[in-house]
Amino acid sequence: MNLRGIDLNLLVVLDALLDEAHVTRAATRLALSQPATSSALDRCRHLFGDPLLERAGGAMKLTPKAEALRGPLRALLADVEAVISPPVQDLATLRRAVRLVMADHPAAMLAPALLADLAVSAPGIDLVIQPWHGATAALDSLARGDSDLAVSVFPAVDSAFRREQLLFETYVVAMRAGHPAAEGFDLERWLAWPHVLVSGRGETRGALDQALAAHGRERRVGVVVPSFGMAPPLLLATDLVAMLPRRCLPAQGREAFAVFEPPIAVEGFPLHMAWHARRDDDLAVRHVAALVRAHLAEAA
């Protein structure tokens, strides 16, 4: 059957006719004239190849075909209404998981605050924080539907995705308080000590090495670690130094570190949130995204 040749408004009229079993009452209920309702009934009879309503004594009676249509027709119209005007969901009763893919640095910043907020505003939303394997892998995961939100640096995304900047992060140089390089800190003292480099892919050079090369200088990388969370304990236990995102150092116990601006200019980076366009109307994802946005705006 070719649905393009069918006026689906007829089904609304038919639903009223079958419910009322009376043309005038159905017309009143639909705010239609009686002739228009009678005409619609004739068209429905032609469409279904059945009288649908037959006169029996002084009243109209549904045919067996009409009786069989009542349940499926009512369910169909309810489904159509749910598509066009979906019911408003209540965050307090929503039960589902929202999957976030992000590196350990933003995850450590966000997870405690997100969980505390969700416990109040949407206790049925569970967070699944997925491991970080790079921006390309994160976008692929969003595209496949394996992840709902991603927080990291996304230089560009195509039209299938949404992306917004949450904050701009800058770098600091950190070492343990009392480190020999802290007194009279400058470029020479900085480069005299081995550095911690954070690389999820195990690379031994980063943005700082490029900046140093532009000045004809280089550093020694004493250790490469896969996550920012590993760097502060290493700094406290050794004479290593590190250049880290400013918000990487723990707020509690910050006095245990000596912190300086980098002796040479090193460009910071934006932190983005991204999701696939198909999640635009997902209430749970939108709510978690709003919380992420609010907490990072506060951090900024």
Residue span of the structural domain in which 295 resides: 94-165+270-299
pLDDT (tens digit per residue) in 242-274: 999 988 888 788 899 999 999 998 888 899 999
Q: Check whether residue 54 and residue 193 sit in a common domain.
A: no
Rounded distance, CA 195 to CA 217, Å?
A: 14
Q: What is the CATH number of the domain that holds 19?
A: 1.10.10.10
Q: What is the pLDDT of residue 263?
A: 93
Tens digit of each residue's pLDDT (9 = 90 or more) over 271-296? 999 999 999 989 999 999 999 999 88
Strands 125-130, 96-102: pairing kind: parallel
Q: Is 217 in the same domain as 257?
A: yes
- Tokens 């994160």 sit at which residue? 138
Please answer whether residues 155 and 105 qualify as being in contact, where contact means their C-beta atoms are separated by less than 8 angstroms: no
Largest distance between two CA atoms of the chain: 107
Does one domain contain both 263 and 275?
Answer: no
Question: Does 153 share its domain with 206?
Answer: no
Q: Do 26 and 38 belong to one domain?
A: yes
pTM beyond 0.75: no
- The candidate with the shortest Cα–Cα distance to 170, out of 260, 91, 240, 50, is 260
Boundary-marking domain end, from 62, 84, 106:
84
DSSP SS3 for 95: coil
Locate the DSSP E strands across 15-93: 53-56, 59-62
Phi, psi of 56, deg, nearest 5: -135, 105
How many C-beta neighbours within 10 Å does residue 237 have?
Answer: 9
Which residues, listed in sequence order, are joined to residue 130 by a DSSP beta bridge? Answer: 101
Handedness of CA 159, 165, 171, 175 (dihedral sign): negative
What whole-number distance in Å separates Cα of residue 126 and Cα of residue 230? Answer: 26
Same domain, 184 and 258: yes
Q: 253: domain CATH number?
A: 3.40.190.10
Q: Clarify whether residues 176 and 139 are in a common domain.
A: no
- Pick from 63, 84, 105: which residue ends a domain? 84
Q: Which two tokens stand for residue 208?
A: 């700082």
Residue that finishes a domain, picked among 50, 84, 118: 84
Residues counted in the chain: 300
| Position 98 in a domain | yes
Residues 259 and 277 in one domain: no
**Is 89 within the bounds of a domain?**
no
User: 279 and 145, same structural domain?
Assistant: yes
- ∠ CA 109-114-115, rounded to 5°: 115
51 vs 55: CA distance, rounded Å: 10
pLDDT digits (tens, 9 = 90+) for 135-190: 899 999 999 999 999 999 998 888 999 999 999 999 999 999 999 999 999 999 99
| DSSP category for residue 4 | G
Tell me if 113 is assigned to some domain.
yes
Tell me whether residue 43 is in a domain.
Answer: yes
Q: For residue 261, give the amino acid letter.
A: E
Domain shared by 76 and 225, yes or no:
no
Read off the pLDDT of each residue in 21-48 and give the average, rounded to a whole number.
Answer: 91
Q: Are residues 285 and 154 in the same domain?
A: yes
Q: Please give the Cα distance from 264 to 260 (Å, whole number).
A: 11
Angle CA(222)–CA(206)–CA(136) in degrees, nearest 5? 125
What is the number of structural domains in the chain? 3
- Give 200-236 pLDDT, tens digit per residue: 788 889 889 988 999 999 999 999 998 888 999 999 9
156 and 182 belong to one structural domain: no
145 in a structural domain: yes
| Cβ neighbourhood burial of 286 (10 Å; 0-12, 13-18, 19+) | middle
